[in-house]
Amino acid sequence: MAIAIMCSGGDSAGMNPAIKTFVERALVHDEKPYLIYDGLEGLIDNKISLASYQDVSNIVHRGGTILRSSRSKRFFEYKYRKIAYENLQTLGIDKLVVLGGDGSFRAMGQFYEDFRVNFVGVPSTIDNDIFGTDYCLGVDTALNVIRVSIDQIRDTASSFRRAFVIETMGRDCGYLALVSSVTSGAEVCIIPELKYDLKSLGNRLKSQIENGRIYALCIVSEGAKVTDKVAKWIEEDVGMQARVTILGHTQRGGNPTVYDRLMAFKFSRMAVDKLLSDDKSHEVIVFKDSKFEFVSIEYINSGKYQIEPELLTLADRMVQ
């Protein structure tokens, strides 16, 4: 039998290094490595190819994923999952490495229940919002993309005596906004996980302006859904010109950082080795308390990710 890898859901930097490691590790073990293109949609449409070293050369430094990705509504219908299973059977594939997030893992959990196709999930999302793991592939690169953007915005903010409201991605999780706020020295941080007091923040900012402050940085998580409200508050209550910058999908791109490349190598290698040594695997590899471990898909789907309390306390000065 053979082994395959696919990406599902949002792309993240580090996927390509993981794909490279997957192919090379499989070949070392004399396994046939297959690449599934276009995620779950490609699994249904049989976009599956046998891989060689040449297919994964010159990709370790590239952002995104050479396999491309997708979100598939069809896969949640049994008849399409059956087609996907038959495609794998035809090629003799009985093991999958899946780079994705919680939605992808739920889909694979159902796939395992239906057809007992072994898989290992690798947490891959810049949102860093998967329950059970402290780190997801692509987060460090996204944080560095945000850092560069904030540093550049600070230049123009100080030149025009303005406040900038910078919206980060993260879906319903404020991790990216929180870490970026702390490490950029922002004045305001608005995330779903923390209550904020605009009146208190306004009084503090006005006092600082009277004492020489010429700009302000306000980092807002998209999940808070208050970006325009914060900009209006700055202009009307604080009395400073405000501009909004939505970083958007730039945060998903860029060369993978050294840390994300290293994590990709470790995640992928351990995933392949697990599948080759366990013929009943339907787990996710996580990074928890500075070590890797395998946990059940049921555990991953049983809770909601929460930012560690100690990290949340670092934003105290930016919410009130």
* CATH code, 188: 3.40.50.460
| 127 assigned to active site | yes
Residues 134 and 262 in one domain: yes
Domain stop point among 252, 276, 295: 252
Q: Is the pLDDT of residue 102 over 90?
A: no
- Three-class secondary structure of residue 125 per DSSP: coil
How would you classify the pairing of strands 242-246 and 216-221? Answer: unpaired
**Which of the residues 38, 94, 102, 127 is marked catalytic?**
127
Q: Token pair for residue 237?
A: 């209550």
- Region 212-216: what's the mean pLDDT? 96
Domain that holds residue 199: 140-252
**Span 73-100, pLDDT tens digits:** 999 999 999 999 999 999 999 999 999 9
Q: Would you state the pLDDT for residue 83? A: 98
The answer to whether residue 316 sits within a structural domain is no
Whether 22 and 170 map to the same domain: the answer is: no
Calculate the average pLDDT of the chain: 96
Query: What strand order describes the sheet that includes 48-50?
Result: 48-50, 33-36, 2-7, 93-100, 118-123, 282-288, 291-296
pLDDT per residue as tens digits for the range 151-203: 999 999 999 999 999 999 999 999 999 999 999 999 999 999 999 999 999 99
Is the predicted pLDDT of residue 301 greater than 90, yes or no? no
Convert the pLDDT of each residue in 237-273 to its tens digit.
999 999 999 999 999 999 999 999 999 999 999 999 9
Categorise residue 245: left if φ over 0, alpha if ψ from -120 to 50, beta otherwise: beta
